[in-house]
Amino acid sequence: MSINFPLFLLVLTAITGVIWLFDILVLRPKRRRNVAQLNAQSVDLTPAMDEARQAVMKEPVVVEYAISFFPVLLVVLVLRSFLIEPFQIPTGSMIPTLKVGDFIVVNKFAYGVRLPVFGTKVFAVDEPKNGDVMVFVPPHEDEYFIKRVIGIPGDTIRYENKILSINGVEQVQEFIAEIPPNRPDHVVYKETIGGVEHFIHRSAFRGNGPQEWVVPEGMYFMMGDNRDRSSDSRYWGMASEDRIVGKAFAVWLHWDSGFPSFSHNGWIE
């Protein structure tokens, strides 16, 4: 069973924050009163008395750890919840744009500020657009998925013979290469969605009949760039607006096996 890290981080931050606040309001004044009583009983300035005063003022171990970790946890919570979040690509559904083992950065602010864990939008910044690479939680699993936005609310999406049409306009695919050349396993095309140029992989062997969807309000139609090897909106439905995580905008590291590599770093198109 996977750990709900946002919830874990929120709970840990809250616990350490409450302990820190309890120390400020209750325990620390009590320690100061005990030191004052100790000083009233003796004005001895010997090392032994000084050690006794330090022992009285020393925080309990739990409080000491809470004070140390709370600021760090709070900064991580704020950055991860409202600004940016790291994410590792677990599958090949976005090949060739994103490879298995790519570490990417997700802009949490791009589509609005949301409450951590609950996902409630506090205020809007922008809306997802056709061609964006978006991280979200799909309707059938409680895990992060990353796909490309193909349809926004109101769009009619048609997919036939591996060609996309959006609102009746066929999205042009420019042939790039067959890989491998002699007996191709897949074919590389350049495609433009919403003004965003990107490469896609299509299987050399599979075809498809006509499929059509109308994107309802508050939903988004998502597809992987590895078109015939992607579990996406064609199979499990559309991504809900209230389960959007953010917009993926950069690759900063690749680490699948062996040594980490920075050769694939760059902006995500």
Instruction: Give the residues across from 201 on adjacent strands.
Output: 188, 226
Report how far residue 204's alpha carbon sits from residue 11's, in angstroms, rounded to the nearest whole number: 49
Residues taking part in catalysis: 93, 147
Alpha helices in 58-171 (DSSP H): 61-78
Helix (H, G, I), strand (E, B) or coil at 95: coil
Report how far residue 123's alpha carbon sits from residue 111's, in angstroms, rounded to the nearest whole number: 9
Containing 212, the helix (H) or strand (E) segment is strand 211-214
11 in the Ramachandran plot: left (φ > 0), alpha (ψ -120 to 50) or beta? alpha
* Cβ atoms 147, 223 nearer than 8 A: yes
User: How far from 10 is each of 6, 121, 172, CA to CA, in Å?
Assistant: 6, 17, 45
